[in-house]
Copies of this chain bind each other. A is one copy, B any other.
Amino acid sequence: MVPRVEPLSTRPTKDVLTDALLDITAQHGLEQVSVRQVAAAAGVSIGTVQHHFPTKDAMVTAAFTEVVRRIRERVAGVALGPDVHRNLTAVLRELLPLDERRATEVRIQVAFAARAATTPSLATLQAGILADVGEAIAGAIARAGRGAVPPEEARALARIALAAVDGLALHAVSSGSWDRTALTDALDRLIDMLLAR
């Protein structure tokens, strides 16, 4: 009698599928995502994909939800110290395409943001993540050294900061070539402007 061993390689299929979808999105755009492509990239049959995600929309939404979760996790994971400037830099650097990993993340976010512009259900998710990250940035700003910044003021600055960083990221990936130094310099200058009094 043959014992069923096999604990091997048992990553949840759902996760494999989500990763496959995000890979395709980063490389070829969200409009190139199809059930077929995802199945092929994940190495499973089409039927299997649709066993886990009954419709394509469900699959895309699940993937975006996962992206949102990751961003939240990443922003929350940035260790905050006493130095406000450093804190802000740390948080915002996570949102710029400063290496291949972050470039990939940016491409994914841009793809979903563009789709959210015409897909209400995705717009809701997008609004949520913008609020969350904005709040995190506002918190970092509010703790600024010389006299506390009023919360409303901090939130307003945070919105501008987030917009500027996302704008820089968008310009970087959509113009096809960018350089780390220019992004870093722009971020420094931006933070100086934000914290100037």
A interface residues, Cβ below 8 angstroms from B: 27-32, 107, 110-111, 113-120, 123-124, 126-127, 130, 156-157, 159-160, 162-168, 170-171, 173-177, 182, 185-186, 189-190, 193-194, 196
With A160-B190, A166-B167 known as contacts, the answer to whether A173 contacts B30 (CB < 8 A) is no
Q: Given the complex of chains A and B, what is the CA–CA distance between A28 and B117 in angstroms?
A: 9
A186 & B159 in contact (Cβ 8 Å cutoff): yes
B163 & A167 in contact (Cβ 8 Å cutoff): yes
With A114-B114, A117-B111, A196-B193 known as contacts, the answer to whether A170 contacts B175 (CB < 8 A) is no
Question: How many copies of this chain sit in the oligomeric assembly?
Answer: 4
Q: Given the complex of chains A and B, what is the CA–CA distance between A189 and B35 in angstroms?
A: 45
B167 & A126 in contact (Cβ 8 Å cutoff): no
Residues of chain B contacted by A116 (CB below 8 angstroms): 174-176
The contact of A174 among B27, B126, B160, B174, by CB within 8 Å, is B126
With A31-B30, A110-B113, A167-B167 known as contacts, the answer to whether A123 contacts B160 (CB < 8 A) is no
Query: Which of A28, A119, A171 gathers most chain B CB within 10 Å?
Result: A171
Residues of chain B contacted by A182 (CB below 8 angstroms): 159
Residues of chain B contacted by A30 (CB below 8 angstroms): 31, 114
The contact of A123 among B168, B176, B189, B194, by CB within 8 Å, is B176
Query: Which of A30, A31, A156, A163 gathers most chain B CB within 10 Å?
Result: A163
New contact pairs (4) apart from A114-B114, A116-B175, A117-B173, CB-CB < 8 Å: A28-B118, A29-B115, A110-B117, A111-B114
Residues of chain B contacted by A168 (CB below 8 angstroms): 159-160, 163, 167
B107 & A118 in contact (Cβ 8 Å cutoff): yes
